[in-house]
Chains A and B, each alone.
Chain A
Amino acid sequence: MKTIQFFIAIFLTANAVQAQDYGLYWKYKDHDGAIAVSVPRWATFAGSAFIDEKADRKLVRKIRKARVLFFEDASPFSQRDLKKFVRKSKRRGLDELVTVRSGKTHVRVLAKSRNSTIKKIVVLFSSPEGAGLVTVKGRFRLDEINRVIEKSNKEGKKKDGDPKIPNLPKVPVIRA
């Protein structure tokens, strides 16, 4: 009986872990040509020690887990996978924020938030240069994110005279 309970527990835990990336990471992490990186909290915490700027360091320390899945060639994600991903992410409280398609480049940003805190950000992208998925879990306050963006904008202006902004809409938190 204890063995059965043990296996049920293992099965449920495995399912819960897979649910975090709605299956895509786990399905494709061993795919041919895949670069899959999972960064645990202790690693981001240790890495943050090398960041000079206090605000940036503070933000990085709020990352609880980060996952990156990258393919150098074309995206192996099938339309079916993507539909499933969108369906599952909606069911689990992830909201679509921005979708951009420019030429052959597709970017989709989704986030899970509560009040003024973002708990999870998922970026799904594909372009001729590569495709992949980035998932970041943590507790990021919007004003903290805004502060870091503002600061990097100011630094960009100082360095280059004019900020180099891609020809895409800036997320409203960024100001020119």
Chain B
Amino acid sequence: MKQLFFSLLFLFAGAFSATAQNDAITRFFNQYAEDERFTVVYIAPKLFQLAAKIETDDEDWNNIREVVKDLGGLRVLVADSIVDGVALYKSALSKVPTNEYSELLTVRDKDEHVRMWTKDSGNIIEELLLLVGKPDEFVLLSFTGKIDLDKISSLSKVLDVKGADQLDKIKTTKN
């Protein structure tokens, strides 16, 4: 009985902490959702599902379709004419639950900071988190769904979002 009680308590605590960790990123998004310095974009899974149904002869599109069909959603928070980009970057960085995400890439080039994390279960990557901080720019991008790292960089061509070009770095790293 005691064992069962502790198992249940452990499970409950585990589930609660996982939710709390996810909430940290969501809260960060929500915190700036109405801030006019930021552009907020949310692409729902339904749009990815619809896009994946489009059939054309275009080979590029067919490659992108393979990526898009398993995507669950995309959230982007961008600010490109701010003065506290690096401070925001550091604030967002402190909110990333590092025990839940594994770091994929880190770049620091002069004033530019780029970090990417993935969250996986088994062999499947469930979330890709991208954080970019420059003195005048800040980007937080979160892809969810089943993500193929070999193919996700191809999305940088179709996403006209600041910071999405950083996805190309995955390809560079892998090569």
Chain A residues proximal to chain B, CB less than 8 Å: 95-104, 111, 113, 115-116, 118, 142-143, 146, 150, 165-176
Cβ contacts under 8 Å, A104 to chain B? 36
Cβ contacts under 8 Å, A95 to chain B? 44, 46
8 tightest A-B contacts by CB?
A: A172-B51, A95-B46, A102-B39, A97-B47, A99-B42, A101-B40, A116-B53, A96-B44
CA–CA, A165 to B47, complex, Å?
19
A103 contacts B36, CB within 8 Å? Answer: yes
Q: List 30 A-B contacts (CB under 8 A).
A: A96-B42, A96-B44, A96-B46, A97-B43, A97-B46, A98-B42, A98-B44, A99-B41, A100-B39, A100-B41, A102-B39, A103-B39, A111-B46, A111-B50, A116-B53, A146-B54, A150-B56, A166-B160, A167-B162, A168-B39, A169-B43, A169-B76, A169-B159, A169-B164, A170-B160, A171-B47, A171-B51, A173-B50, A174-B158, A175-B61
Cβ contacts under 8 Å, B150 to chain A? none
A101 contacts B47, CB within 8 Å? Answer: no
A172 contacts B48, CB within 8 Å? Answer: yes
Cβ contacts under 8 Å, B111 to chain A? none
Apart from the given pairs A165-B160, A176-B157, 18 other A-B contacts in the complex at a CB distance below 8 Å: A96-B46, A97-B43, A98-B43, A99-B42, A100-B40, A100-B41, A101-B34, A113-B46, A142-B53, A143-B56, A150-B56, A168-B41, A170-B158, A171-B47, A171-B51, A172-B64, A173-B50, A175-B60
Please, what's the 1-or-0 string for B22-65, where 1 marks a CB less than 8 Å from any CB in chain A?
00000000000110100111111011101101111010110010
